[in-house]
Chains A and B, each alone.
Chain A
Amino acid sequence: MPFDVAAALRQEGLTEDDYLEIQRRLGRDPNRAELGMFGVMWSEHCCYRNSRPLLSGFPTEGPRILVGPGENAGVVDLGDGHRLAFKIESHNHPSAVEPFQGAATGVGGILRDIFTMGARPIALLNALRFGPLEEPSTCGLVEGVVAGIAHYGNCVGVPTVGGEVAFDASYSGNPLVNAMALGLMETDDIVKSGASGVGNPVVYVGSTTGRDGMGGASFASAELSAASLDDRPAVQVGDPFLEKGLIEACLEAFQSGDVVAAQDMGAAGLTCSCSEMAAKGDVGVELDLDKVPAREEGMTAYEYLLSESQERMLFVVRAGREEPLMERFRRWGLQAAVVGRVLEEPVVRVLQHGEVAAEVPSRALAEDTPINHHELLAEPPADLQQHWTWCDADLPPAPLGHDWGTDLLKLLDDPTIASKRWVYRQYDQQVLANTVVPSGGADAAVVRLRPQQGEASLQTTVRGVAATVDCPNRWVALDPERGAMAAVAESARNLSCVGAEPLAVTDNLNFPSPETDRGYWQLALACRGLSEACRALNTPVTGGNVSLYNETRGDDGILTPIHPTPVVGMVGLVDDINRVCGMAWRQPGDPIVMLGVSGEQPEDDRVGFGGSAYQGVIHGLLTGRPPRIDLGLEVSVQALVREAIAQGLLASSHDCSDGGLAVTLAEASLASGQGVEIKLGASSASLQRRLFAEGGARIVVSVKSERWEDWQALLSSVDVPLQRLGSVADHDQLSITCEGQSVLTLSVDALASTYEQALPRRLEAS
């Protein structure tokens, strides 16, 4: 079948070197379908051809890690027979061109990664990035993405319990949609993807195959432009109702013991699932396309192989057990068909109309995939070095008698800081009846570990899992290494704030093109920061996702890259859900204490304004260098908070991040409706720094008054810097004084009307 090789390579995103390598591996020229298979499998999305050398530095092992990177999801041992599968994945490019379906199928895809392992999904989170809400197109994107996530998650019946949303001009044409899922293992053996047992049938289950989502993986690995809107066919259409049945039927099938291996069909569809299963099992797979349930007629082999139709899975089944297994799926109204068998010869052989349509050595597609080598800049890009010369003293000084309350209200009105109720109100946060702490109530979501099946489902348990997603993208933009370290540190701090022990990480590296010196440097430094912080905090990486080429080519031809955004998803163990701490103050009179580096020493570089929200919102700047990360201090502050929560000493705890101390105090007041009396003493540091600077591994806690002595006793055994700030008030004013002079007084109602209306005001005006 002759075809224009140069044009086909362009279409598949392959290079001429790739073509030579394909010829070498096959010992002949590939046909068009085979070239398509290499195109998707050798894309960044599937084989990490740019990022793999960098990812190899991640710590991936630990006593609780049961499954690390390489499988559909990571699995950690929670003890007491509980095993948790979890993973994060991006759906950025599909969401840019079709926000509703792009986001919806992102949720569907990450859920399949979880239940393919034999785990029942128990919770969803998401990390979203958009351009400024002042742009009308952004409002449409936010509407569509949030509705898409809600549609899929709510319908499939998995609660969306947490997440984060931030806004910045760099994401205008290229929003980020990262979805994370958690699942509780329901099978004794973790289901793996390596095929085995020569002659075993290969069974296709789920939905039918159509032309939707053709070449989505290649599409995901290219920059976006106005012409990308014409690529809408590359976006899949999701059916959460089908997926709900697929979850139930798959878990039943896995429990039957008849499934030898399983692989979901996500990116690169049948091509990816066949070649991964064959390569991992060191066997071959024969696939007969005539037997694949199709929703359209006249599809070519190329179209079958590259379709990314949703809600499909491929199994290797014990010979002779295929009929009862397929019956389980039909009962749920799903397709089930034997489409092939396991071969001894390690090839992926695709048949159509009785002829071989493609035949590729198993390892050629999925293993030893090409790596794009890049030169790492010896020193930071010149513009960043220039930024780093900016220091806090360059911040415009506040005039005498400045109204600090105005600054606080401006920060609370910033969409990145403001209440996300408009978003999470659209998510079912409670289905499955285990949500202990939903969105907005604490620094991390907490879900009880009560199974959904069997006797244990009717017994209560006090054990839970906490989860969070984080990325301070303004910091990463200025310093990818510190920014990535901060992402890990803040995730762990969020978990510690609810009383959970941080266990493991799944990461989603959203970056611009790695093909520029700057882009590769950002990626490399962020990976270095992630590795170092994960080691220090003892949270190995169990897998994740890499999304590159997140940049938009404007009509003027200028390329706008996103802020590099290494999103960290982290899970933690909660021993007793009845002791979980929220961010809301509880009792008037409770002392308020800030742990970590105080802002009182002007020269301490662990606290500052580089990349801070204050710098951005009040002064319109993004410059300087983010604060230095003190990982040792992170470890000791977090350990102290967890111990205090375990002993029941704390009434509330809240991490100090965007907007600094003033915003942290305001958020705790907003959550409880109670005011505070904060009394600052004399200091050589500016009020700006004391109220709004960021960093410093800080957590603001309120201590139960009646446990104050026990708290003091606990403190005597540790070495953690802290500052007594004041106490929870019996009125509703957020009141801060300095040496007896009023600095800021605002009613909680005034804070609330700003904080709660910031998103609706912008979104509903459009």
Chain B
Amino acid sequence: MRRRSFIGICSAALGAQVSARLASARALALTPFNRVALVDAGGASLRVSALSTAQAYIFHYPYRGTPAFLIRLESAAAGGVGPGNAVVAFSAICAHQLSHPSKDFSPITYSAGYSNVAGRAGAIVCCAHHSVYDPAAGARVLSGPAPQALAAIELACEGDCLFATGVRGPDRFDDFFRAFAEDLINEFGRGQARMLAQGNATTILLDRYTQDPLHC
């Protein structure tokens, strides 16, 4: 599907909806990036109303090589968009020591169910060093060594469609590109990972993106 026609379909749906954001989420600085439509593995528009709440989805934003979580929570979240303001997105690069999902392995996951390390359900947990983030509260740190929240991916929900438009709050992208330079060449090709995402971003369930998601 061409991007133009895709956007057209999305725009024809329920009409533009911009979520009311909580003051705490709004307080963090927004860095605009390309407006990118989230699509499924077949390139069709991702339907917000059909998103699973059982696990996170992965897409790459704001660069082609930087993974992000798309999460539909059971109830409203700070900064949430879509039905019930329950859809959020965050950089999936742990703010502690940069653990992140790759095709082989993901030490950081969203656990809709109970996590031993988090001591609760509904948390983003990095199993490597036990940083725990709350996706319902801007991915603030609940416990563990992370010094800051995960960077939030700004979403816009238009009809039943989702767009990523920017990054809110401090990120670790520069550290990530330096630390994983060779791995990113192997996974994305030389010079590709740092290119800005544009057009569509393929968005798939974590357990279909990675062979080995850890739960802890």
Partners in one complex: no
Give A contacts to B, CB under 8 Å.
Answer: none
